[in-house]
Amino acid sequence: MDESVMASFWGPVTSTTELCEANYTHSSYIAEFYNTISNVPGILLALIGIINAVRQGFEKRFSALHLFNMILAVGSMLFHATLQLVWQQSDETPMVWEILLYMYVLYSPDWHYRSTMPTFLVLYGATFAVLHFFLRFGVMFKLHYIGLSLLCLPRMYKYYIQTKDRAAKRIAKLYVATLLLASVCWVVDRALCKKMTGWYINPQGHAWWHVLMGFNSYFANTFLMFCRAQQRGWNPCIEKMFGFLPYVKISKPEKKD
Ligand SMILES: [Zn+2]
């Protein structure tokens, strides 16, 4: 065993996926240091999203979306810090719930019967949680998740072509760009892991994946907030926070008594 590696507080690794980063190099409490701290930007972005949604009176579904992103990022932190199977698996059911919520946000404005589809989605989410708890889907989980994500794409694309605002369109493009770049980092980290561990500095592809996906989720939610504000006639516009971070600013028309 490498002399520089510290003792592990969490005991032996029980997770089924081990990542490229060397374990317990910085602290005996954190198995994978960079893969753990790289979730912090995602948590902060989700917090900014929640504050923005609540302060301006967006519908609760948007605070919930940001909250889900935060929960998933915290779950990811716990997983990479401990490399325990229980944390690896505890992220999976919330991931599916979040996608179901995205489906609701994307498709609900088109639904004719207001309560049928939400009821179906809630039952679907609950059934999935129970089945996944007992059966522990492996590859099936991934395929099911990809399938659900693909169902979101057509409506997302339709929103994109319907949006005339250039700044909002740019957020949609940033969403695609961060997703592609994050995927490249993830693949490179997996494919070249053996080579990179020999390098003086490991580029930490998986940590970059976390950072980029934190921004990716934020851009997705921001774009959807813009589209929803437009549907409701709230005159949305894209403003910049700290000079670079786009967010949706709305001005709801005065209510007449
Ligand atoms: Zn990860």
Known binding-site positions:
21, 23, 32, 80, 206, 210
Res. 193 pLDDT band, cuts 50 70 90:
confident
Res. 1 pLDDT band, cuts 50 70 90:
very low
Q: How far is the CA of 235 from the centre of ligand 1 (A)?
A: 38
The verdict on pTM exceeding 0.95 is no
Q: How far is the CA of 69 from the centre of ligand 1 (A)?
A: 13
Q: Which of 52-61, 179-188, 194-203 has the lowest mean pLDDT?
A: 194-203
Q: What is the pLDDT of residues 93-118, one digit of tens each?
A: 888 999 999 999 999 888 877 788 88
Q: How far is the CA of 210 from the centre of ligand 1 (A)?
A: 6
Q: Which residue has the tokens 């694309």?
A: 157
249 bridge partner residues? 237
Q: How far is the CA of 19 from the centre of ligand 1 (A)?
A: 8
Q: How far is the CA of 35 from the centre of ligand 1 (A)?
A: 6
Q: How far is the CA of 46 from the centre of ligand 1 (A)?
A: 17
Q: Which domains does the chain have, with CATH numbers?
A: 33-249 (1.20.1070)
Q: How far is the CA of 77 from the centre of ligand 1 (A)?
A: 8
Taking all residues of the chain, what is their mean pLDDT, rounded to a whole number?
88
With a CB cutoff of 8 Å and minimum separation 6, the contacts of 73 are 39, 42, 43, 46, 210, 214
Q: How far is the CA of 78 from the centre of ligand 1 (A)?
A: 10
Residue 184 confidence (pLDDT) above 60: yes
Q: How far is the CA of 140 from the centre of ligand 1 (A)?
A: 19
Q: How far is the CA of 43 from the centre of ligand 1 (A)?
A: 14
Residue 246 confidence (pLDDT) above 50: yes
Known binding-site positions for Zn(2+):
80, 206, 210
Structure tokens belonging to residue 69: 């992103």
